[in-house]
Amino acid sequence: MKRFDCLKSLVPMLSDEIVIISLGGQIDEWYHLRPSHKNMYIKGMGAVIPFAFGLSVALPHRKIICSDTDGSLLLNMGILATLGNENPNNLIVMILDNECYETIAKHPTHTSKNVDLAEMARGAGIKNAFTVKTVSEFMDRMKRALKLNELSFIVLKLEPGSQAFPEEERKRSDGIEDKYNFVRYLESSENITIFPREQKSIRKIEAKHNWNNTKL
């Protein structure tokens, strides 16, 4: 199963869902498939699911989809325990598990051997935790997860490999631009202020200054 095919099958299911994207080849693929400020790209292994969970706390009425990787989750497995206890009903976590650190010469991750992330998620108390191995299985689980008002955790077993795009079709915004695009989208769609506007000068001019007598 290819990652690009799975991501492609997800796009028609979405409307105003917020999507949090992790690192690696999925960035350009998702940017190509769903160019939108409803996406936020987080460049921080181990921080992606926690960040998405934080958003789900702040925006309980919005559906948040978090697309993380096996390598990133393995860096901070503790988040499974937190999710299992907090049980955010508006969060869907997808783990794109290609069993390797693909950008680092496909160095194998622990999921290439004995580690079963869905089983670990279930052990942490996440009852809707599944592994999928075909695109149709993924679509079926994702359709159900989108309808369900419960935390879902879907591990996608993938073959390594990324879709290649011409340079001009690749995402070119950086982490700060991504943040502002996302924040401005949230501010307008939620009618909130996340970063306050510049404060107007509160200093009063007590007396009018006569610039004619001033040597500039």
Partner 1 sequence: MKENSVKLVMESLKEAGINTIIVLPDSRFKELYPALASDPYFRYIPVTNEGEGVAIAAGVMLGGRGAVMLMENSGLRVAIEPLSRLGHTHEIPVFMIMSYVGDIGERNWWGITHGLNMVSLLQAMHIPYIIVRKNDEIKDAIVRAKHHTAVSKYHVAVVLCGEVTE
Binding residues for partner 1, per CB under 8 A?
40, 42-44, 46-48, 50-59, 76, 78-79, 81-82, 85-86, 175-176, 178-179, 182-183, 186-187, 190, 192-196
CB of 73 to partner 1, least distance (A): 11
Q: Which is nearer to partner 1, 16 or 169 (CB)?
A: 16
Helix axes 3-10, 135-147, angle to 10 degrees: 40
Q: How many residues make up the chain in this entry?
A: 216
**Collapsed DSSP state (helix, strand, coil) of residue 4:** helix
CB of 169 to partner 1, least distance (A): 23
Q: Which is nearer to partner 1, 54 or 123 (CB)?
A: 54
Q: Which is nearer to partner 1, 80 or 118 (CB)?
A: 80
Pair 98, 159: CB distance under 8 Å: yes
Indicate the DSSP class of residue 154. E
CB of 127 to partner 1, least distance (A): 20
Which residues fall within 8 angstroms of residue 162, CB to CB, at 6 or more apart?
3, 4, 24, 25, 26, 28, 29, 102
CB of 85 to partner 1, least distance (A): 8
